[in-house]
Amino acid sequence: MYYLDKSRYLDAASRLGKTKIIVIGDLILDEYLIGEVNRISPEAPVPVVWVRNEKTTLGGAGNVVKNFSRLGVKSFVLGRAGNDPTANVLEELLLAENTSSDKNKILRSELVPTILKTRVIAGHQQVCRIDREETHPLSKEEEKELIRVFSERIQEADAVVLSDYDKGTLTSSLIREIIDLAVKHNKIVTVDPQVSHFFQYDKATVMTPNHHEAGKALGQKLESDQQVEIAAKEIAEKLHSPSMMITRGEKGMSLYLSSEGKTFHIPTVAKEVFDVTGAGDTVISVYTAFLAAGLNELESAIVSNAAAGVVVGKLGAETVSPEELLEALEKRGSFRP
C-alpha cells in the first residue's frame, strides 16, 4: 500500500485551476440512446429498445477534455473533424468544457466525416454500438497546420496529452514533431497509445497502455506482476522514457520509474464495475493534471487509480469531480496516517 501526504494532495488540487494542458488526438462524438427492453422483435430475434432518453457527449480525445474540465483544468484542443453538421455539435461541446475558442484548432476535412459512435443501452446493459466513421491519415498540409498551431501554444501549456484512437489524426510524423517540440520546451508529455504506433512515442514522459495493448506490442501475454515489471522496463527503455504505466483492469495499475529501476503495483479501488468505457481517458487525464500541478509520478498514479475506480462505477464515458476524488481517496485510506 502506497500513501499520499494529504497536504501535498490538497496543494496540488488547489493549483489545478491554473493548469493548462494541450490535448491533441482523435475527436469522437458519443451518442447514447438509453431505454428499456420489454419484448423481442417479431421481425428478428433481437430486443426492442424503447428509447426514453438521449445524450450526446464528447468521446475520444474529447473525453480527455471533459475530464480536465471537471477538475477545473483549462485545455486547448487540436484535432480534426469532418466538414459537416456533426462537427458543429462537437465544437459547441468542446467550448462548453473549459476550452478556448481562440486556442482550439479543429481542422475541417472533406475526406472524413466527424466520427459518431452511437451506443444503445437498456438498463445498465449496452445492447449494441453503431459506428459512423472513415479513417484517413492527415494530409501533409493538415500536419503542418497542427504543428504550426501547436508551436504557438506550447509555451503557455504545462503539459501535452496525445490521445491516440488510431483514427488518422496522430500520424507518425506528427507524433514525432509534437513530442520533439514539447521536450524542447521541457513540457510533460503523456500518451494514451495505439498498438500500431506503440514504439513511435519516443521520449514521452509516460505512456498509459492497458496490459492487453502492452502485451500485444511485445508479442506476449502480461498476466503476472513479474511479466508486467519486465515489460514496463523494456518499453520504457526502448522509448527512452522516464516512466511507464500499465493499467491492469481489476488488478489496478503498475508504474515503472526509470530513476528508481522499480515498478510500483497499485491495487484497484473500484467497488462495483458498471462500465469501463472511458476509464483510460480518466487515468491519463487525472495523472497528467496532478503531475503538472506538482505531485510526483507515484502520487499522481495513486490519484488517477482512485479516479478510475470512481468512473467505472458509472454508466458510459464519465468523469470524476474533485469532491468525488477526495472522497474516494479518503475511503480507500490513501492518505498517510
Q: What is the tens place of the pLDDT at every residue in 8-58?
A: 999 999 999 999 999 999 999 999 999 999 999 999 999 999 999 999 999
The distance of Cα 238 from the centroid of its chain, to the nearest Å, equals: 22
| Residue 205 forms part of a structural domain | yes
| Residue 1 forms part of a structural domain | no
pLDDT (mean) for 210-220: 95
| pLDDT for position 138 | 97
| Residue 100 forms part of a structural domain | yes
| Residue 337 forms part of a structural domain | no
| Residue 229 forms part of a structural domain | yes
pLDDT (mean) for 278-298: 93
* Predicted confidence (pLDDT) at residue 318 exceeds the cutoff of 90: no
Counting residues of the chain whose pLDDT is more than 90, the rounded percentage is 85
CB 32, CB 57: distance < 8 Å: yes
Q: Which amino acid is at 311?
A: V
- Angle made by CA atoms 298, 300, 305, in degrees to the nearest 5: 95
d(CA 318, CA 3): 26
* Predicted confidence (pLDDT) at residue 72 exceeds the cutoff of 60: yes
| pLDDT for position 102 | 83
| pLDDT for position 313 | 67
| pLDDT for position 190 | 98
Question: Rounded to two decimals, what is the model's pTM?
Answer: 0.93
Please write the tens of the pLDDT for every residue from 120-153. 999 888 999 999 999 999 999 999 999 999 999 9
pLDDT (mean) for 310-334: 83
* Predicted confidence (pLDDT) at residue 109 exceeds the cutoff of 50: yes
| Residue 248 forms part of a structural domain | yes
296: domain CATH number is 3.40.1190.20
Q: Which residues contact 238 (CB under 8 A, 6 or more apart)?
A: 199
Q: Which residues pair with 308 in a beta bridge?
A: none
pLDDT (mean) for 293-322: 86
Q: Indicate the burial class of 80 (C-beta count within 10 angstroms; 0-12, 13-18, 19 or more).
A: buried
Please write the tens of the pLDDT for every residue from 267-277. 886 555 444 55
- Average pLDDT over the chain, rounded to an integer: 93
Q: Return the H-helix or E-strand segment holding 33.
A: strand 27-40
| pLDDT for position 314 | 64
Please write the tens of the pLDDT for every residue from 164-175. 999 999 999 999
d(CA 74, CA 90): 18
**Segments forming the whole domain that contains residue 52:** 6-332
β-strand 115-122 against 125-132: which pairing, if any? antiparallel
* Total domains present in the chain: 1
> Is residue 281 among the annotated active site residues?
yes
Q: Is 218 helix (H, G, I), strand (E, B) or coil?
A: helix
What nine digits make up the cell of 260?
A: 528508481
* Predicted confidence (pLDDT) at residue 334 exceeds the cutoff of 60: yes
What sign does the CA torsion over 124, 130, 136, 138 have? negative
Q: What are phi and psi of 59, to 5 degrees?
A: -125, 180
Q: Which amino acid is at 150?
A: F
d(CA 321, CA 164): 24
Q: Where are the alpha helices (DSSP H) in the chain?
A: 6-15, 61-71, 85-95, 140-153, 172-184, 211-218, 225-239, 279-292, 297-311, 322-332
pLDDT (mean) for 193-198: 94
| Residue 180 forms part of a structural domain | yes
Q: Which among 26, 158, 275, 281 is annotated as catalytic? A: 281
What nine digits make up the cell of 14?
A: 488547489
| pLDDT for position 228 | 97
| Residue 157 forms part of a structural domain | yes
Counting residues of the chain whose pLDDT is more than 70, the rounded percentage is 96
d(CA 121, CA 129): 9
